[in-house]
A and B are shown apart, each in its own frame.
Chain A
Amino acid sequence: MQFTQSQGLLQAETQPNLFLPPGYDIFWSAVVLVVIGVFFYKFLLPRINGVLDERAAKIEGGLALAEQAQEDAEAARAERQEALAEARREAAHIREDANAQAAQIVAEAREQAKAEATRLVETANRQIEAERRAAVVSLRGEIGGLATELASRIVGEALADDARQSRVIDRFLDELDASTGAEDLAGSTRSANQEA
């Protein structure tokens, strides 16, 4: 009963219907929708989306930049370490080289000194030998002369006794000493005398 009364109420007077739009409702709705739509499509959304995209791009760019910077720093660090290691290796190498070179120089110098010393000794020896030979030659000549003189004296004087003979010899030797002044020559003269 109540229901039919409400129904009757709804259809009273102007009989409006909620779900069947009158023409003017559609018209003004269209006006509203078109105005808002144009505003959104032409003005608001392009601007907002533009700035949103720009911001997103900027943030992404910033992130990429930071990442790039970090990568660069990492690379630089690695490079620096590599360079350091390289320098260390090179220094060690140079040190080793220097050591080897020094050892070689020392060895060479030693070798050279030794060779020089040997050469000097040899030269000296040769000189000594030569001088000795020269002395022997000159001695031989002198001793020959002396022996001849001694013999002539011995023959020229009458050798009466041993005492005289020995005196003669002594005198000869003294003369010999006086003429040469060298003891070793006296020795050799003595031996030569004995031979004679």
Chain B
Amino acid sequence: MCPRERILSAAALLPLVAAADDSAEFVAPGIEEFFPDMIFGQPDGWFAFDRLMLVRLVVVVVLLLLLWLGARRITLVPGRGQAVIELLVDFVRVQIAETIMGKEKAKPFLPMLTTIFVTILAMNLASVIPGLNIGGTARIGLPLLMALWVFLTYLAAGARTQGLGKYLRNELFPPGIPWPMYLIITPIEIAQVFVIRPATLALRLTVAMVAGHLMLVLAFAATHFLIFEASAAMAAFAPVTLLGGFFITVLEIFISALQAFIFTILSAVYLNFAVEEAH
């Protein structure tokens, strides 16, 4: 746990650093990136507030302000802002919900899917916005809550359209399989419906944002280190890490949209299992 060991662990990620001279030590970013110091409140309390929570609230305010500005004077012939919002809403409806569930069945779930998609997208994009620099979804809380929302919604939808018993029977004892197979399949399906689906929704998103943020911080921290702290000779390598930072930033933007899309489309798929007739 001494600084020397930290350098070694960083060296595995960034071989260049191993060659750094003794005048400075490169401290690779780690898990503590995601647990910044508290702004107020006890670290174990329910209302504790750290920088990541602040980022979330800033994103909420900015997002709602932009959407409100765009949708405040809504007209039949859309202005630019309204057109962008319509594009977003229509994308979720047509490309995600209606593609997976069909026009009629998708309808009751459109508000939830749209809310989730836009929330994830906005929170994810915070990871590349200077000043915020971390995704609001890089902590498990928000993805987990959204996954729970989806989980409860698909249970409720299944119970409403098929009856809870019939829905669970269809899910846990898939018809058309010789009964001994249920010994294997049913435990898997139970885990699937009650644990794996919501857990993977939350974890996939969180891990993607954690990894993206780590790569970004690594690239920029290394650049900073090479230019300002390492020996003059090492500064020549700075453009390489900076270029890496550019690349990762673009990748992160793509990942932000992709993760929002994946989360929403999988939610639609799970909902579809619940509302479709016996399958």
What number of A residues sit within 8 Å (CB to CB) of B?
Answer: 44
Q: Of residues 139 to 191 in A, which have CB atoms within 8 Å of B's CB atoms?
A: none
Q: Is B74 an interface residue (CB 8 A)?
A: yes
- B59 contact set on A, CB distance < 8 A: 32
Cross-chain contact B34 with A18 (CB below 8 angstroms) = yes
Decide yes or no: A49 and B89 within 8 Å by CB, A16-B31, A35-B60 being known contacts: yes
From A8, A16, A32, A40, residue with most partner B Cβ within 10 Å? A32
Q: Is B278 an interface residue (CB 8 A)?
A: no
What number of B residues sit within 8 Å (CB to CB) of A?
Answer: 58
Shortest Cβ distance from B136 into chain A, in angstroms? Answer: 7
Stretch from B41-49, B96-104, B180-188 at the A interface: B41-49
User: Which of A14, A28, A47 is in CB contact (< 8 Å) with B57?
Assistant: A28
Bound-state CA distance A43–B12 (Å) is: 50
Bound-state CA distance A21–B139 (Å) is: 8
Decide yes or no: A16 and B34 within 8 Å by CB, A8-B1, A22-B43, A48-B74 being known contacts: yes
Bound-state CA distance A166–B206 (Å) is: 177
Shortest Cβ distance from B56 into chain A, in angstroms? Answer: 5
Stretch from B14-22, B64-72, B153-161, B168-176 at the A interface: B64-72
Per-position 1/0 for A1-43, Cβ under 8 A of B: 0100110111011101011111111111111110111011101
Cross-chain contact A48 with B85 (CB below 8 angstroms) = yes
Taking beta carbons and an 8 Å cutoff, which residues of A are in contact with B? 2, 5-6, 8-10, 12-14, 16, 18-33, 35-37, 39-41, 43-45, 47-52, 54-55, 58
